């Protein structure tokens, strides 16, 4: 019986990527975004060298990416260990039927709560997943009452303390497929 030839994995073609404005992002835009994800404090000169573009061309692309909504903001990535007395919790929330129909009321309260550092809409058993900083788990009850004062939006909430962050930041896989 002849030996099988090993199959080589071939990376799929990169799909087209668009900014929120609808502007199509080309390979140079994607390279620039990847470099910015690695460290957004690089001087324009260094960014230009890393993506093989002129200083003015890089500056023009940065402005265009900001204007298109592809770049929302520049932030510092802070070691969360400094917040030792304020641990983070994941909170999975299932909404009531009324809560699903009136989601905007809850979302406004979530956006106004400084303890909530991330909120995502889910598909499945739970409707929302929140990342919340609390000094102690019992504070969730107070925060839930702030988010849903009439207690008609949230059906259940499951609080999970975050023990250790294993991976914090990674470029999107489309940024890893470098064509250069």
Domains along the sequence of the chain with CATH: 17-75 (1.10.10.10), 80-161 (3.30.70.920)
Separate counts of helices (H) and strands (E) for the chain: 7, 6
Q: For residue 15, what pLDDT is reported? A: 75
Q: For residue 8, what pLDDT is reported? A: 56
Q: For residue 177, what pLDDT is reported? A: 58
Q: For residue 115, what pLDDT is reported? A: 94
Q: How confident is the model at residue 151 (pLDDT cuts 50, 70, 90)?
A: very high
pLDDT, one tens digit per residue, over 47-72 is: 999 999 999 999 999 999 999 999 99
Statement: residue 149 has pLDDT above 50: yes
**What distance in Å separates the CA atoms of residue 68 and residue 24, rounded to the nearest whole number?**
10
**Averaged pLDDT for residues 156-164:** 90
Chain centre distance of CA 7: 34
Could you tell me which residues come within 8 angstroms of residue 53 by beta carbon, excluding any fewer than 6 positions away? 28, 32, 61
pLDDT, one tens digit per residue, over 97-121 is: 999 999 999 999 999 999 999 999 9
Q: How confident is the model at residue 1 (pLDDT cuts 50, 70, 90)?
A: low
Mean pLDDT taken over the chain:
87
Chain centre distance of CA 17: 17
Statement: residue 16 has pLDDT above 70: yes
pLDDT, one tens digit per residue, over 84-98 is: 677 899 999 999 999
Least confident of 107-111, 123-127, 169-173: 169-173
**What distance in Å separates the CA atoms of residue 73 and residue 66, rounded to the nearest whole number?**
8
- Token look-up 């979302």 returns 107
Q: For residue 180, what pLDDT is reported? A: 46
Q: Give the pTM.
A: 0.68
Cα dihedral 20, 167, 119, 88 sign: negative
Angle of helix 139-147 relative to helix 103-112, nearest 10 degrees? 130
**What distance in Å separates the CA atoms of residue 165 and residue 60, rounded to the nearest whole number?**
36
């Amino acid at each position: 019986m002849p030996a099988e030839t090993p199959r080589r994995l071939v990376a799929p073609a990169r799909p087209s990527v668009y900014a929120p404005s609808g502007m199509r992002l080309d390979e140079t835009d994607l390279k620039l975004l990847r470099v910015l994800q690695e460290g957004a404090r690089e001087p324009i000169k260094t960014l230009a060298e890393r993506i093989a573009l002129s200083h003015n061309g890089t500056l023009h692309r940065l402005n265009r990416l900001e204007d298109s909504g592809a770049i929302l903001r520049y932030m510092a990535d802070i070691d969360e260990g400094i917040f030792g007395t304020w641990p983070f919790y994941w909170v999975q929330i299932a909404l009531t039927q009324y809560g699903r129909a009136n989601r905007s009321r809850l979302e406004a309260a979530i956006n106004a709560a400084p303890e909530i550092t991330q909120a995502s809409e889910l598909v499945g058993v739970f409707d929302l997943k929140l990342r919340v900083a609390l000094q102690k788990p019992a504070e969730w009850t107070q925060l839930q009452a702030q988010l849903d004062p009439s207690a008609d939006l949230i059906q259940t909430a499951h609080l999970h303390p975050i023990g250790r962050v294993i991976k914090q930041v990674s470029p999107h896989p489309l940024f890893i497929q470098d064509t250069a």
